[in-house]
Amino acid sequence: MNQISPISRKANTPDVAFLRKQAAELRGEVIGMSHKTGSAHLASCLSCIDILTAAYWHALNIDPAKPTDDGRDRFILSKGHAAMAIYATLAHRGYFPRDLLETYTKDGGKLAEHPPANMLPGIEAATGSLGHGLPIANGHALSAKVKDKGANYRVFALMSDGECNEGSVWEAAMFASAQKLANLCVIVDYNKWQATARSNETLQLSPLREKWESFGWDAYEIDGHDIGAVATALADVPNGSSKPVAFIANTVKGKGVSFMEDDNNWHYRAPTAEEVVKARQELGLS
Protein backbone atom coordinates (compact mmCIF):
# COMPACT_ATOMS: atom_id res chain seq x y z
CA MET A 1 0.00 0.00 0.00
CA ASN A 2 1.21 3.50 -0.76
CA GLN A 3 2.27 5.60 2.18
CA ILE A 4 0.19 8.74 2.51
CA SER A 5 2.30 11.66 3.60
CA PRO A 6 0.51 14.36 5.54
CA ILE A 7 0.01 17.55 3.57
CA SER A 8 -1.85 19.76 5.96
CA ARG A 9 -5.16 21.27 5.01
CA LYS A 10 -5.57 25.05 5.09
CA ALA A 11 -8.17 25.78 7.72
CA ASN A 12 -7.54 29.51 7.74
CA THR A 13 -9.69 32.26 6.27
CA PRO A 14 -8.90 33.01 2.63
CA ASP A 15 -6.77 36.10 1.97
CA VAL A 16 -9.17 37.59 -0.57
CA ALA A 17 -7.01 40.58 -1.54
CA PHE A 18 -4.06 38.26 -2.24
CA LEU A 19 -6.23 35.83 -4.21
CA ARG A 20 -7.70 38.64 -6.34
CA LYS A 21 -4.23 39.93 -7.18
CA GLN A 22 -3.11 36.42 -8.07
CA ALA A 23 -6.16 35.96 -10.31
CA ALA A 24 -5.48 39.25 -12.11
CA GLU A 25 -1.92 38.14 -12.81
CA LEU A 26 -3.16 34.82 -14.21
CA ARG A 27 -5.65 36.66 -16.40
CA GLY A 28 -2.83 38.84 -17.73
CA GLU A 29 -0.76 35.74 -18.38
CA VAL A 30 -3.42 33.88 -20.40
CA ILE A 31 -4.30 37.01 -22.38
CA GLY A 32 -0.61 37.30 -23.33
CA MET A 33 -0.40 33.60 -24.24
CA SER A 34 -3.48 33.81 -26.45
CA HIS A 35 -2.13 36.90 -28.19
CA LYS A 36 1.36 35.50 -28.79
CA THR A 37 0.16 32.14 -30.11
CA GLY A 38 -3.13 33.17 -31.72
CA SER A 39 -4.84 30.56 -29.55
CA ALA A 40 -8.56 30.11 -28.98
CA HIS A 41 -10.44 29.53 -25.71
CA LEU A 42 -9.30 32.71 -23.98
CA ALA A 43 -12.81 33.50 -22.67
CA SER A 44 -13.10 29.92 -21.40
CA CYS A 45 -9.92 30.49 -19.38
CA LEU A 46 -10.99 33.85 -17.96
CA SER A 47 -14.25 32.24 -16.86
CA CYS A 48 -12.52 29.77 -14.52
CA ILE A 49 -9.44 31.68 -13.33
CA ASP A 50 -11.02 32.66 -10.00
CA ILE A 51 -11.90 29.01 -9.32
CA LEU A 52 -8.36 27.86 -10.17
CA THR A 53 -6.86 30.58 -7.99
CA ALA A 54 -9.09 29.74 -5.02
CA ALA A 55 -8.19 26.07 -5.42
CA TYR A 56 -4.43 26.32 -5.93
CA TRP A 57 -3.68 29.20 -3.56
CA HIS A 58 -6.06 28.26 -0.77
CA ALA A 59 -8.09 25.06 -0.80
CA LEU A 60 -5.89 22.29 -2.18
CA ASN A 61 -3.55 20.22 -0.05
CA ILE A 62 -0.64 20.27 -2.46
CA ASP A 63 3.09 20.82 -2.54
CA PRO A 64 4.40 21.89 -5.97
CA ALA A 65 7.79 20.43 -5.02
CA LYS A 66 6.13 17.00 -4.59
CA PRO A 67 3.68 16.81 -7.51
CA THR A 68 3.23 13.05 -7.29
CA ASP A 69 2.99 12.79 -3.51
CA ASP A 70 0.56 10.00 -2.65
CA GLY A 71 -1.33 12.18 -0.19
CA ARG A 72 -1.88 15.16 -2.49
CA ASP A 73 -5.30 16.39 -3.47
CA ARG A 74 -5.96 15.68 -7.14
CA PHE A 75 -7.30 18.47 -9.36
CA ILE A 76 -8.41 17.61 -12.89
CA LEU A 77 -9.18 20.32 -15.44
CA SER A 78 -11.94 18.42 -17.19
CA LYS A 79 -12.69 21.40 -19.48
CA GLY A 80 -9.27 20.81 -21.02
CA HIS A 81 -9.71 23.46 -23.70
CA ALA A 82 -8.93 25.98 -20.91
CA ALA A 83 -5.37 24.61 -21.01
CA MET A 84 -3.76 28.06 -20.92
CA ALA A 85 -5.43 28.66 -17.56
CA ILE A 86 -4.13 25.48 -15.92
CA TYR A 87 -0.65 25.96 -17.41
CA ALA A 88 -0.49 29.54 -16.12
CA THR A 89 -1.81 28.41 -12.72
CA LEU A 90 0.74 25.62 -12.35
CA ALA A 91 3.63 27.82 -13.49
CA HIS A 92 2.71 30.69 -11.15
CA ARG A 93 2.14 28.21 -8.30
CA GLY A 94 5.68 26.87 -8.78
CA TYR A 95 5.18 23.50 -10.47
CA PHE A 96 7.44 24.48 -13.37
CA PRO A 97 9.31 27.61 -14.54
CA ARG A 98 7.20 30.41 -16.01
CA ASP A 99 9.54 30.49 -19.02
CA LEU A 100 7.95 27.24 -20.14
CA LEU A 101 4.71 29.11 -20.84
CA GLU A 102 6.51 30.64 -23.84
CA THR A 103 6.49 27.17 -25.43
CA TYR A 104 2.69 26.84 -25.44
CA THR A 105 1.54 25.09 -28.67
CA LYS A 106 5.12 24.97 -30.01
CA ASP A 107 6.05 21.84 -31.98
CA GLY A 108 7.82 19.31 -29.79
CA GLY A 109 6.98 21.22 -26.62
CA LYS A 110 5.32 19.96 -23.46
CA LEU A 111 2.52 22.51 -23.38
CA ALA A 112 0.20 21.08 -25.99
CA GLU A 113 -2.92 22.98 -26.91
CA HIS A 114 -4.87 20.64 -24.60
CA PRO A 115 -3.21 19.11 -21.53
CA PRO A 116 -1.39 15.82 -22.18
CA ALA A 117 -0.77 13.15 -19.54
CA ASN A 118 2.65 12.51 -18.00
CA MET A 119 4.35 15.50 -19.60
CA LEU A 120 4.11 18.19 -16.95
CA PRO A 121 4.12 18.17 -13.15
CA GLY A 122 0.66 18.96 -11.81
CA ILE A 123 -1.33 17.76 -14.81
CA GLU A 124 -3.27 14.81 -13.41
CA ALA A 125 -5.00 13.65 -16.60
CA ALA A 126 -5.06 14.21 -20.33
CA THR A 127 -8.19 16.21 -21.04
CA GLY A 128 -9.71 18.16 -23.89
CA SER A 129 -12.17 15.61 -25.10
CA LEU A 130 -15.09 16.75 -22.96
CA GLY A 131 -16.79 14.31 -20.61
CA HIS A 132 -13.78 12.32 -19.42
CA GLY A 133 -12.48 14.28 -16.42
CA LEU A 134 -15.19 13.16 -14.02
CA PRO A 135 -14.86 9.44 -14.84
CA ILE A 136 -11.10 9.75 -14.21
CA ALA A 137 -11.76 11.68 -10.99
CA ASN A 138 -14.07 8.85 -9.91
CA GLY A 139 -11.19 6.43 -10.26
CA HIS A 140 -8.90 8.55 -8.07
CA ALA A 141 -11.62 9.08 -5.46
CA LEU A 142 -12.45 5.38 -5.34
CA SER A 143 -8.77 4.55 -5.14
CA ALA A 144 -8.46 6.65 -1.98
CA LYS A 145 -11.13 4.46 -0.41
CA VAL A 146 -10.20 0.98 -1.59
CA LYS A 147 -6.52 1.02 -2.56
CA ASP A 148 -4.92 3.67 -0.38
CA LYS A 149 -7.00 2.72 2.65
CA GLY A 150 -7.08 5.52 5.17
CA ALA A 151 -6.07 8.15 2.62
CA ASN A 152 -7.76 11.47 3.12
CA TYR A 153 -6.97 13.16 -0.17
CA ARG A 154 -9.74 14.88 -2.09
CA VAL A 155 -10.37 14.83 -5.82
CA PHE A 156 -11.66 17.86 -7.71
CA ALA A 157 -12.90 18.03 -11.29
CA LEU A 158 -13.45 21.42 -12.91
CA MET A 159 -16.04 20.98 -15.63
CA SER A 160 -17.84 23.24 -18.08
CA ASP A 161 -21.56 23.58 -18.58
CA GLY A 162 -21.40 22.41 -22.21
CA GLU A 163 -19.58 19.35 -20.91
CA CYS A 164 -22.73 18.40 -18.99
CA ASN A 165 -24.20 17.56 -22.42
CA GLU A 166 -22.10 14.40 -22.39
CA GLY A 167 -23.78 11.17 -21.28
CA SER A 168 -20.52 9.98 -19.71
CA VAL A 169 -20.86 12.79 -17.14
CA TRP A 170 -24.16 11.47 -15.86
CA GLU A 171 -23.03 7.87 -15.81
CA ALA A 172 -20.03 8.99 -13.76
CA ALA A 173 -22.28 11.08 -11.50
CA MET A 174 -24.41 8.02 -10.72
CA PHE A 175 -21.30 5.94 -10.06
CA ALA A 176 -19.94 8.52 -7.61
CA SER A 177 -23.11 8.67 -5.54
CA ALA A 178 -23.54 4.89 -5.58
CA GLN A 179 -19.97 4.50 -4.28
CA LYS A 180 -20.45 7.29 -1.71
CA LEU A 181 -17.39 9.17 -2.93
CA ALA A 182 -17.58 11.94 -0.34
CA ASN A 183 -13.98 12.91 -1.15
CA LEU A 184 -15.02 13.89 -4.69
CA CYS A 185 -16.00 17.40 -5.74
CA VAL A 186 -17.17 18.74 -9.07
CA ILE A 187 -17.14 22.42 -9.89
CA VAL A 188 -19.20 23.33 -12.94
CA ASP A 189 -18.03 26.57 -14.54
CA TYR A 190 -21.56 27.66 -15.41
CA ASN A 191 -20.97 30.57 -17.80
CA LYS A 192 -24.12 29.73 -19.83
CA TRP A 193 -22.18 29.55 -23.12
CA GLN A 194 -20.64 26.77 -25.12
CA ALA A 195 -18.65 26.96 -28.36
CA THR A 196 -21.23 28.57 -30.61
CA ALA A 197 -24.46 28.93 -28.65
CA ARG A 198 -26.09 29.44 -25.29
CA SER A 199 -25.81 26.23 -23.27
CA ASN A 200 -29.49 26.03 -22.35
CA GLU A 201 -30.51 26.55 -25.99
CA THR A 202 -28.35 23.60 -27.05
CA LEU A 203 -29.54 21.09 -24.47
CA GLN A 204 -31.74 21.81 -21.48
CA LEU A 205 -29.27 21.93 -18.58
CA SER A 206 -31.46 23.98 -16.32
CA PRO A 207 -32.19 23.35 -13.49
CA LEU A 208 -28.58 22.27 -13.20
CA ARG A 209 -28.18 22.22 -9.41
CA GLU A 210 -31.31 20.10 -9.05
CA LYS A 211 -30.04 17.70 -11.72
CA TRP A 212 -26.86 17.01 -9.74
CA GLU A 213 -28.88 16.71 -6.55
CA SER A 214 -31.22 14.21 -8.15
CA PHE A 215 -28.18 12.14 -9.12
CA GLY A 216 -27.38 11.74 -5.43
CA TRP A 217 -24.95 14.62 -4.92
CA ASP A 218 -24.91 17.44 -2.41
CA ALA A 219 -25.23 20.32 -4.86
CA TYR A 220 -24.86 24.03 -4.19
CA GLU A 221 -24.95 27.17 -6.33
CA ILE A 222 -22.12 29.60 -5.73
CA ASP A 223 -20.79 32.78 -7.34
CA GLY A 224 -17.75 31.52 -9.24
CA HIS A 225 -16.12 34.95 -9.08
CA ASP A 226 -16.54 35.43 -5.33
CA ILE A 227 -13.05 34.14 -4.83
CA GLY A 228 -13.29 34.01 -1.03
CA ALA A 229 -16.54 32.04 -1.16
CA VAL A 230 -15.09 29.60 -3.71
CA ALA A 231 -11.95 29.14 -1.60
CA THR A 232 -13.98 28.40 1.53
CA ALA A 233 -16.38 26.08 -0.31
CA LEU A 234 -13.56 23.98 -1.80
CA ALA A 235 -11.60 23.88 1.45
CA ASP A 236 -14.67 22.50 3.24
CA VAL A 237 -14.89 19.33 1.09
CA PRO A 238 -15.82 16.73 2.27
CA ASN A 239 -18.78 18.30 3.96
CA GLY A 240 -19.53 15.61 6.53
CA SER A 241 -22.18 13.77 4.52
CA SER A 242 -21.47 10.58 2.62
CA LYS A 243 -22.25 12.20 -0.73
CA PRO A 244 -20.00 13.68 -3.40
CA VAL A 245 -20.26 17.46 -3.68
CA ALA A 246 -21.09 19.58 -6.73
CA PHE A 247 -20.67 23.33 -6.86
CA ILE A 248 -22.58 24.97 -9.67
CA ALA A 249 -20.43 28.07 -10.01
CA ASN A 250 -22.21 30.92 -11.77
CA THR A 251 -19.60 32.63 -13.91
CA VAL A 252 -19.19 35.06 -16.79
CA LYS A 253 -17.32 33.92 -19.87
CA GLY A 254 -14.44 36.36 -20.49
CA LYS A 255 -14.60 37.61 -16.88
CA GLY A 256 -12.29 40.48 -16.00
CA VAL A 257 -12.07 42.29 -19.33
CA SER A 258 -15.03 44.51 -20.14
CA PHE A 259 -14.96 43.97 -23.90
CA MET A 260 -14.70 40.19 -23.57
CA GLU A 261 -17.27 39.57 -20.84
CA ASP A 262 -20.25 37.49 -21.98
CA ASP A 263 -19.19 37.95 -25.65
CA ASN A 264 -18.80 34.43 -27.02
CA ASN A 265 -16.76 35.64 -30.01
CA TRP A 266 -13.88 35.36 -27.55
CA HIS A 267 -14.34 31.60 -27.45
CA TYR A 268 -12.20 31.56 -30.58
CA ARG A 269 -10.73 35.06 -31.00
CA ALA A 270 -7.23 36.00 -29.86
CA PRO A 271 -6.56 39.60 -28.80
CA THR A 272 -4.51 42.09 -30.81
CA ALA A 273 -1.55 43.89 -29.25
CA GLU A 274 -3.74 46.95 -28.61
CA GLU A 275 -6.41 44.79 -26.96
CA VAL A 276 -3.77 43.21 -24.72
CA VAL A 277 -2.70 46.65 -23.53
CA LYS A 278 -6.29 47.68 -22.85
CA ALA A 279 -7.08 44.43 -21.06
CA ARG A 280 -3.99 44.69 -18.85
CA GLN A 281 -4.93 48.25 -17.92
CA GLU A 282 -8.39 47.09 -16.87
CA LEU A 283 -6.84 44.34 -14.77
CA GLY A 284 -4.58 46.86 -13.05
CA LEU A 285 -1.47 45.19 -14.42
CA SER A 286 0.16 48.09 -16.24
Shortest distance, position 261 Cβ to ligand TPP, whole Å? 13
3-state secondary structure of 263: coil
Angle between helices 167-178 and 133-146 (to 10 degrees): 20
Shortest distance, position 130 Cβ to ligand TPP, whole Å? 4
Using Cβ positions, the residue closest to ligand TPP within the complex turns out to be 162
Chain residues binding ligand TPP by CB under 6 A are 44, 47, 79, 81, 128-131, 160-163, 189, 191, 193-195, 199, 253, 267
Shortest distance, position 166 Cβ to ligand TPP, whole Å? 6
101 vs 169 by CB, closer to ligand TPP:
169
Shortest distance, position 197 Cβ to ligand TPP, whole Å? 9
49 vs 219 by CB, closer to ligand TPP:
49
143 vs 250 by CB, closer to ligand TPP:
250
175 vs 266 by CB, closer to ligand TPP:
266
27 vs 79 by CB, closer to ligand TPP:
79
Shortest distance, position 158 Cβ to ligand TPP, whole Å? 10
Distance of CA 237 to the CA centre of its chain: 15
- The Cα–Cα gap between 92 and 25 comes to 9
Shortest distance, position 39 Cβ to ligand TPP, whole Å? 13
Give the sign of the dihedral formed by CA 173, CA 212, CA 150, CA 236. positive
Shortest distance, position 228 Cβ to ligand TPP, whole Å? 22
Give the sign of the dihedral formed by CA 116, CA 122, CA 127, CA 133. positive
70 vs 262 by CB, closer to ligand TPP:
262
**Torsion on CA atoms 11, 236, 184, 242, rounded to nearest 10:** 120
User: 256 near 31, Cβ under 8 Å?
Assistant: no
- The Cα–Cα gap between 48 and 63 comes to 22
Which of these, 16, 105, 31, 104, lies nearest to 275 by C-alpha position?
31
CA distances from 30 to 6, 108, 206, 226, 279 (A): 33, 21, 30, 20, 11
72 vs 267 by CB, closer to ligand TPP:
267
Look up residue 84 and give its amino acid.
M
- The Cα–Cα gap between 229 and 269 comes to 31
